Amino acid sequence: MDFMQLESDLIVELGQKTHTKDIFFTSNNNHADLSTNALFILSKHMKKSPKDIFEQIKTKINNKYIKDITMSKNGFLNFHLHDNFLHDGLKNIIDDKNTFEKNNIKVNVEFVSANPTGPLHYGNARSVYGDSLANILRFAGYNTTKEYYVNDAGNQINILADSVFSEYLKLQNLPSLELEEQYKGSYISDIAQEIYKNDSEKWDKNNYKEHFKSFSMKYIIEIIKEDLLSVGIKHDEWVFESDIICKVSEAFEILRNKDLIYEGKLGTIHSKKGEESHQTLTLFRSSKFEDSEDRALTKPDGSNTYFANDIGYFYDKIKRDFKWMIVVLGADHDGYIKRLQNAVLNLADDIKLDIKTCQVVLFKQNGENIKISKRSGNALGLREAVEGIGKDMFRFLMLSKSLDTHYTVNTDQIVELSMENPFYYLQYAHARIHSMFNAHNKELDFNFSLDSLTESMCSLLKILLDFRKCIKSITRTLEVHKMTHYLTSIAEKFHSIWNEGKMDPEKRWILQQNEKYTNDRMVLAHSVKKTITQAMNLLGIKPYDSL
């Protein structure tokens, strides 16, 4: 038993099935143990006053956990709970019953998916969001896969190969290539040296391309994997663009049958160099679905655009039986969302696609914003960004803000920041509980009663009983930061109780003279620790036993 369960039971008892999605409950407010707006909603649909509905419903509700139902002056329905609700709730936490049933819905969470052309930089800071979201969905019962999509078929990889080859030539004191665009980070020469060490002077301009492409890419993917590990991320699947290209035509077939693909011309298109082209291309009828224009699937040279390959990729996901696809992109891909959605949702029925964009996290150094530029090679690396603050706090920082926040981290203050961070507030709560169990290292008797609990301890327990509601809310909104705020509310209550104990010895967790009370309170402490640990694990943050 917890609030999620109680609320869904109550909705059934309210006898309303049609408008349940507008009805919501709040617990732990000043007015009651549990409140709902149900009367407003029902009154709207039944064309009766809230008062009449209240009279009608009042007698119908016969729930063993509800002690009392009242209606507030302004029309809220307020419930007061029996103590057995808290008792059964606590028992459920101890017995590991506050979890979710497994369902068979396959969810694909794709995140990071940076081009394998260099180490991850701070622009990928928010990738921890996808990781934690996937953890939470898995906990909520979904069959969840964390996926990384590798764009290994695009032009960027050619530029990468050329950049490395150019360095390779330099190593031999040969004239390097004249490149319009190139990657310049130190890893480029590392790769060139590696190749030179392996193959000596085997490669020249006639045969280097394929080998340099695949070697460099593999090398960089290993770097990326380590970068990801530095923030605690490990993907389940790595899918390569080159492997799914074969799916593109199959996907196109479906769209063609719906008359969504045609051969035609777009308006005047300006290429990067300002040249204009009026060629006939293969186009996707995106404007049919609230996009500003139709979108090209082929380039003038006949090859596929990345959009075309992405359609193939999502078709591949559908073929792998994913019913819910979540994609986390940077805000710079914003203009891309509509066409992708329009295309993918037309590939199959009964699929759900959520494309989340995260606003860039800016890093400030010496008072100036650091620019992201992978090619110049001077962007702050993700690993360097993490090193200063540590994986756990880094994740907490990134996860505690909404994705839509334009969040700025000042690297000059990172060290100072560590002392004024809510992260420690949370860890401190966990550490305190840990120390309590050092002081009281007796076996707990789980045959407890709530008689010993103070009022504050009961409110803490109520927060614990909101855990599944929090999870459920995240599966609906995909807003992971709710979890950090939930954790903070537990920590807050816990610290507050702790200090009540300083003022009044009767309100401490451990009572020297009363073993029974101590045991019962420690049972609660045990479940607090359990919930914190569980929630932090979902966020990928390690709870500290001491600070």
Partner RNA sequence: GCGCUCUUAGCUCAGCUGGAUAGAGCAAUAGCCUUCUAAGCUACAGGUCAUAGGUUCGAAUCCUAUAGAGCGUGCCA
Footprint (CB under 7 A) of RNA, residues 490-509: 492, 495-496, 498-503, 505, 508-509
Please identify, using beta-carbon distances, which residue of 348 and 431 lies nearer to RNA: 431
User: How many other β-carbons are positioned within 10 Å of the β-carbon of residue 445?
Assistant: 12
Q: Verify binding: residue 133, RNA, rule CB under 7 A.
A: no
Give the whole-angstrom CA distance, residue 465 versus residue 43: 30
Least Cα distance to 42 among 26, 73, 20 occurs for 20
Give the whole-angstrom CA distance, residue 153 versus residue 47: 61
Q: Verify binding: residue 413, RNA, rule CB under 7 A.
A: no
Q: Verify binding: residue 41, RNA, rule CB under 7 A.
A: yes
One of 357, 411, 527, 531 touching RNA (CB under 7 A)? 357
Phi, psi of 479 (to 5 degrees): -100, 95
Shortest Å, Cβ 115 to RNA: 4
What is the pairing mode between strands 106-110 and 143-150? parallel
Please identify, using beta-carbon distances, which residue of 30 and 62 lies nearer to RNA: 30
The interface with RNA within residues 12-31 (CB under 7 A) comprises: 21-24, 26, 29-31
Shortest Å, Cβ 166 to RNA: 19
Shortest Å, Cβ 473 to RNA: 5
> At 1, is the secondary structure helix, strand, or coil?
coil
Sheet bearing 295-296, strands edge to edge:
261-264, 281-284, 295-296
Shortest Å, Cβ 391 to RNA: 16
The interface with RNA within residues 510-529 (CB under 7 A) comprises: 510
Give the whole-angstrom CA distance, residue 464 versus residue 487: 10
Candidates 128-136, 182-190, 246-254, 354-362 — which segment interacts with RNA by CB under 7 A? Answer: 354-362
Cβ-Cβ contacts under 8 Å for 312 (sequence gap 6 or more): 244, 245, 246, 247, 248, 250, 251
The interface with RNA within residues 65-94 (CB under 7 A) comprises: 72, 74-76, 78
The interface with RNA within residues 272-311 (CB under 7 A) comprises: 272, 277-279, 281, 292, 295-296, 299-300, 305-307
Please identify, using beta-carbon distances, which residue of 363 and 448 lies nearer to RNA: 363
The interface with RNA within residues 225-264 (CB under 7 A) comprises: 241
Shortest Å, Cβ 361 to RNA: 9
Per DSSP, the residues of 377-396 read T-SPBHHHHHHHH-HHHHHH
The interface with RNA within residues 427-466 (CB under 7 A) comprises: 428, 431-432, 434-436, 438-439
Shortest Å, Cβ 110 to RNA: 13
On the CB side of 344, CA atoms within 13 Å amount to 28
Please identify, using beta-carbon distances, which residue of 203 and 481 lies nearer to RNA: 481
Candidates 55-63, 135-143, 208-216, 421-429 — which segment interacts with RNA by CB under 7 A? Answer: 421-429
One of 1, 4, 6, 32 touching RNA (CB under 7 A)? 32
Shortest Å, Cβ 155 to RNA: 5
Identity of the residue numbered 291: D
Tokens of 83: 């103590």
Give the whole-angstrom CA distance, residue 378 versus residue 376: 6
The interface with RNA within residues 308-347 (CB under 7 A) comprises: 331-336
- Secondary structure, 3-state, 59-82: CCCCCCCEEEEEECCCCCEEEEEC
The interface with RNA within residues 366-385 (CB under 7 A) comprises: none
One of 172, 408, 413, 514 touching RNA (CB under 7 A)? 408
Total binding residues toward RNA, as defined by CB under 7 A = 98
Cβ-Cβ contacts under 8 Å for 540 (sequence gap 6 or more): 128, 131, 132, 135, 232, 233, 395
Shortest Å, Cβ 269 to RNA: 3
The interface with RNA within residues 149-168 (CB under 7 A) comprises: 151, 154-156
Give the whole-angstrom CA distance, residue 266 versus residue 425: 56
Least Cα distance to 192 among 167, 215, 209 occurs for 167
